[in-house]
Structures are given as C-alpha cells and as structure tokens.
Amino acid sequence: MKAFNAIALGLALCSPWAAAQADFPDRPITLIVPFPAGGPTDIVGRVAAAKAGEILGQQVVVENRTGASGTIGMAATARAKPDGYTIGLATVSTHGTAPHLFPKLAYDPVRDFTPISNLVTSPNILAVNPSHPARDLAGFVAHVRANPGKEGYANAGAGGVNDLGMIWFLQLIDGKMNSISYRGSAPALTDTVAGVVPVIFDNFPSTLPYVKSGHLRALAITGTARNARLPDLPTFAEQGYKDYDVTAWYGVVAPAGVPDAVRDKLAAAFAQAVRDPATAAKMEETGAFPLGNTPQEFARQIETERDRWKVVIDKAGIKLQ
C-alpha cells in the first residue's frame, strides 16, 4: 500500500499538470477588462496588472472585451481554459446587478468562476454638465420633479450599477429620466462633458478628473463619508438620503476549476500588488480604496452582493426598459 501511495505521489508530482502548476506562470497572463479603456475598471485593472506582473515575473496583459454592461467580457472569462492564464476583472455590475436583469446571461456569477481577489472599492458620483441649472442635490431633485421624462442620464451600461443606482435614486425622489447607456464610463463621460447628455451617474475614479477640471459639476457622492479627493462634495446621506448607498468594486476572477495552487498564487500576487504603497497611492489618487482580499473572502462577498442587489431590484421592481 505504501509503495502504491509512493508511486501515486511520484506520478502526481511528475505529471505535466502538477509541473505546470509548480511553474505557474511561465508565460504572460491575459486579464480581460470588460469595459473600455479610460473607465474605472480599466484604470484599476491596468494599475494592478502592472504590479502583479512584476510580482509574478510574467506580464499581465490587459485585454478590453467590452459590451452589455461588462457581461460579454465576463462570459469570455467564464469560458476560458481554467489554467490561470486567462482571468477577468469582475465588477458589481457583472456579478451583482446584471445576473438579476439579463434573463439570458451566459454565466452564473458564483458557479462559473473561481474568485481570486477583490482589488478595490469605489464610491459613485452624481454629476451634471456645467450648463445644467442644478447647483446642488436639492436643486437637481426639484428640477427633475419639474421636468419628468425630459432629461437623460448617461451611464456605463444598461442594468449595470450606474444605471441601477440612478433608477433607484429616481424611485426615491419620484422622478423620471431617460437612461442613456454606453459601453462603459469613458464614452458616457465624453458625451456628458460635451453636453450631449446633461447628467451622469458614474463610479468616482473616472468622473473625478472632469470635476476637478470644471468640465462637470458634482452634486453628491455615495458612501458613509466624504471622499478626501473632493472633500467639499457632500454625500447623498448628508443630503437626506440615508439608506441610499451604491458601492462599486473591481475584483479578479478566473474560470471555475482553476487549481487551488494557481488560484492562491494569483491571489497573493494581486493582493500584494494593490497593497504595495506606490500602487495603493495611485489607486487612492483616483478616490478608490485598495482592498486585496482572499479568494474565500471575495467568494463570500460575491454572494452577498448578488443577494443584496436582488433585494434592491425586487423591492424597487426594477426592470430593464
């Protein structure tokens, strides 16, 4: 029996599969970012990928596979070979909101993935083109109520966190606006800055530079506290919307079935990457908060987020138009 175990162990250690795990990674890794370049997912993904690549000794190459609120890139991630060489950057949209709103979603947010590490969280922000009459949130609410259905708001994808965040807020204020969905924050911002759409609800990191440069006027930020990057901007809670909170996050996932050793190596590298002082400082400059949790913590978080958004969506009766 002992001899048999020894042979089995020897075979396991010598098998190409075990050898591949021990050498992982011996070639570049592809990180699928499911939103366009210049948006928050892309910003976080590129900063983290550069440092994680250094730590792993292999480049982590970002590939933007965009569309359908990030679900196209996530479907591609789920279908990839589970060897750790193709991973994806999941968001609250791809794993929290979209699963309840896309009846033909090509993946299950829990069953089809191996969670690696949730890298970063970020608040969301409501901002308007400077030509908009609203100077603050109270003015915005009054304007929307006085003009039902007349204005649109730009967002990073139908059924994603920015679309849903705004739909939820409009329900709270009993307002009506038209959802103008883009492939991601970057094109949504371009049109809001140009005045094509007067309002945007976005993840904080991508909108922040435009607020700082005066191309957009910020009215409120989500979360329990103000953000150090825009300390004068009040939260929704401060302005009377206590139970309204929408947080974005960006976390690395792999297809289901990735070996534990590969998963743990990736998780350790990405967590170390976002905690590295220079990388963390870059993330914090965008107003986001570096996290870098474990696969187990991230797995629980994905389930919690999926369930949390189901309650919000069901309670509010939110359906895609």
Q: Does 47 bind ligand GLU (CB under 6 A)?
A: no
Selected from 101, 134, 248, 273, the binder of ligand GLU by CB under 6 A is 248
Binders of ligand GLU among residues 93 to 112 (CB under 6 A) are: 93
- List alpha helices for 112-251, DSSP H: 137-146, 161-173, 185-194, 204-212
- According to DSSP, the residues that pair with 252 across neighbouring strands are 89, 117
Q: Does 203 bind ligand GLU (CB under 6 A)?
A: yes
Binders of ligand GLU among residues 76 to 95 (CB under 6 A) are: 91-93
Q: Which is nearer to ligand GLU, 54 or 102 (CB)?
A: 102
Kindly state the smallest distance separating residue 249's Cβ from ligand GLU, in Å.
7
DSSP 123: -
Beta strand pairing call for 60-64 and 29-33 = parallel
Q: Does 39 bind ligand GLU (CB under 6 A)?
A: yes
Question: Can you tell me whether residue 9 is helix, strand or coil?
Answer: helix
CA triple 184-74-193, angle to 5 deg: 5
Beta strand pairing call for 124-128 and 199-203 = antiparallel
Q: Does 35 bind ligand GLU (CB under 6 A)?
A: yes
Q: Does 205 bind ligand GLU (CB under 6 A)?
A: no
Kindly state the smallest distance separating residue 144's Cβ from ligand GLU, in Å.
21
Q: Cα separation of 83 and 156, whole Å?
A: 30
Dihedral through CA 140, CA 143, CA 148, CA 150, nearest 10?
Answer: -90
Dihedral through CA 67, CA 72, CA 74, CA 76, nearest 10?
Answer: -140
Q: Cα separation of 215 and 127, whole Å?
A: 10
Per-residue binding letters, 132-171, with ligand GLU (x by CB under 6 A): ------------------------x---xxx---------
CA atoms within 13 A on the CB side of 98: 26
Q: How far is CA 218 from the centre of its chain?
A: 21
Kindly state the smallest distance separating residue 41's Cβ from ligand GLU, in Å.
3
Q: Which is nearer to ligand GLU, 84 or 205 (CB)?
A: 205
Q: Does 73 bind ligand GLU (CB under 6 A)?
A: no
Phi, psi of 270 (to 5 degrees): -70, -40
Kindly state the smallest distance separating residue 5's Cβ from ligand GLU, in Å.
48
Q: Which is nearer to ligand GLU, 141 or 248 (CB)?
A: 248
Per-residue binding letters, 271-310, with ligand GLU (x by CB under 6 A): ----------------------------------------
Binders of ligand GLU among residues 166 to 195 (CB under 6 A) are: 184-186
Q: Cα separation of 279 and 48, whole Å?
A: 7
Residues that bind ligand GLU (CB under 6 A): 35-36, 39-42, 70, 91-93, 156, 160-162, 184-186, 203, 248
